[in-house]
Amino acid sequence: MEQERIRIKLRAYDPKVLDRSVEEIINTVKRTGGVIKGPIPLPTRIRRWCVLRSPHKFDQSREHFEIREHSRIIDITRVTPQTIEALMEINLPAGVDVEVKMRG
């Protein structure tokens, strides 16, 4: 019989907020008796674009913008009912996107 596990993928634009959220999840899982693999940092996704400052002339005058999206993966290998309940009650900051998948 295959053991049940949970994969949590977190994404945020601010790496400090992301790391605080990861620490909160790790502390919650360890407190309830779960076993964790990770956090695994994924490559930062950088989106860049260029905008002309003037709409009609001065082609050389441009502004460059970028957004960096940071990601982490946490695998919970030994899941207890208390772990699932505690994870449902965690309040994470508004800038963190959470994706949860259950396998097993």
pTM of model > 0.85: no
CATH number for the domain that contains residue 55: 3.30.70.600
CA distance 15 to 96: 10
Number of structural domains (the chain) is 1
Residue 22: the pLDDT is: 93
Domain with 24, as residue range(s), is 5-103
11-39 residue pLDDT tens = 999 999 999 999 999 999 989 888 898 89
35-92 residue pLDDT tens = 898 899 999 999 999 988 887 877 788 899 999 999 999 999 888 888 888 888 888 8
